[in-house]
Amino acid sequence: MKLHEYQGKEILRQFGVNVQEGRVAKTPDEVRQIARDYGDAVVVKAQVHVGGRGKAGGVKFSPTPDKAYENGEKILGMDIKGLTVNKVLVTRAVDIDAGVEYYIGMIVDRNVQSFTLMASAEGGVDIEEVAAETPEKIVHYRVDPITGLRPYEARAVAIQAGFKGNLNKIADMMVKLSQAALARDAVLVEINPLFVDASGTPLALDTKFEIDDNAMYRHKDLADWREMEAEHPLEIEASKYGFAYVKLDDGNVGVLGNGAGIVMTSLDVVNRAGAKPANFLDIGGGAKAEIVYNAVKLVSKDTDVKAIFINIFGGITRADEVAKGVIQALKDGILTKPVRMRIAGTAEEEAKALLAEVNSPLIQMYPNMFDAAAEAAKEANAASAAASTKTVENK
């Protein structure tokens, strides 16, 4: 789960990190009020789950309360990389030119099977850019998850990164950042920029904080921070049904299967057949007709989907239950796109009999998954091609 800047800052504050003062606003009037309360220049900052807000026009320095109001008006409602800004953080501005901008962060690092602390004197800008162009400017240090980051290790990293200022204070901030990351099961915590003022004191101006979704049961106090509007509407609907569903970009074949492994395979098979999967959908083991019905309904709603590939290996899942669910969707007028299925195993013959009875060209069964996927891919691609010709004609 990705946190907003103001939420990540709240956690860092709880761990004793020196964080720039700020308050959240939802209207330009609130923005102006906060600026008046501070009696100082402020920065108005879009709260959306993407990086690079500054470059996208979502972070604006505001010298007066009226300017803050104006910037609030501009930023609230703004679209940043497909996300609408509903909230801004209004921070008490610092004089960046009177100090330096550094970077510190900690991530779960598969390569070292542990956490890696990163530090760079090249903060403020895109750290990804630094990593790509001048990787030697980022210090990497493996952190033991049992002991955590110890102060002497943090000081050594600060020195190696070439940090100037009060190195004890900066190292202390690294230790606190790592404590927050470990305690909150974070997969990523960054402070960028880490501003160090003329007296050498560090201050966190921005943070990215992401918590491992699989650890959310240990952080029930943060459950309210999960925001549904940030997810795809179909993913929200899928979570209501309890499906493991992921919407995929640029796809045209809806995919559903029983089990994560078979669905992953199905995505590969669709790709190999020359089309692109529009989603991942695992209906789980032992699904009854109603679950299949809901799954077909969900995938059919996706306007990207031009054909559906169903891949079931019947063990505890009965093929006839799958067939019943698909047939009911057809009868209810929900199913309007071709379904190409491979259902093998338990009750396969019963499923075949049920489908033969319905005898609809929209639902076809194939003896193996390659044939079913190839057919779905062919039809989806034909429909996509027809649709794109239509849009060209309309222009």
Annotated binding-site residue numbers: 45, 52-54, 94, 101, 192, 206, 258, 315-317
Q: Which span (87-95, 114-122, 179-187, 278-286) binds ligand GDP, by CB under 6 A?
A: 87-95
Cβ atoms of residues 187 and 218 within 8 Å: no
CB of 2 to ligand GDP, least distance (A): 12
Q: Which positions are annotated as active-site residues?
A: 103, 190
CB count, 10 Å around CB of 225? 14
The answer to whether 53 contacts ligand GDP (rule: CB under 6 A) is yes
The answer to whether 5 contacts Mn ion (rule: CB under 5 A) is no
CB count, 10 Å around CB of 221? 7
Residues in contact with Mn ion, shown as a per-residue x/- string from 137 to 176 under the rule CB under 5 A: ----------------------------------------
SS3 readout for 25-36? ECCHHHHHHHHH
- Tell me which residue of 286, 285, 275 sits closest to 374, measured CA to CA: 275
Residue 107, beta-bridge partner list: 116, 188
- Beta strands 88-92 and 22-25: pairing type? antiparallel
Contact with ligand GDP (CB under 6 A) among 17, 19, 59, 118: 59
Contact with Mn ion (CB under 5 A) among 192, 252, 381, 384: 192
280 secondary structure, DSSP code: E
Kindly state the number of chain residues that form the binding site for ligand GDP, as judged by CB under 6 A: 17
- Tell me which residue of 192, 279, 216, 196 sits closest to 244, measured CA to CA: 279
- Tell me which residue of 320, 318, 325, 312 sits closest to 351, measured CA to CA: 320
Residue ranges in 1-40 that form contacts with ligand GDP under rule CB under 6 A: none
Cβ atoms of residues 363 and 339 within 8 Å: yes
Alpha-carbon distance of 99 to 59, in angstroms, equals: 19
Alpha-carbon distance of 341 to 344, in angstroms, equals: 10
CB of 303 to Mn ion, least distance (A): 35
Contact with ligand GDP (CB under 6 A) among 17, 35, 76, 93: 93
Residue 375 site contact among ligand GDP, Mn ion, none (CB < 5 to 8 Å, cut-off depends on kind): none
CB of 367 to ligand GDP, least distance (A): 53
Task: Pick between residue 122 and residue 321 the one whose CB is nearest to ligand GDP.
Answer: 122
Cβ atoms of residues 107 and 118 within 8 Å: yes
The answer to whether 143 contacts ligand GDP (rule: CB under 6 A) is no
- Residues contributing to the site for Mn ion (CB under 5 A): 192, 206
- Residues contributing to the site for ligand GDP (CB under 6 A): 43, 45, 51-54, 59, 61, 91, 93-94, 96, 124, 192-193, 205-206
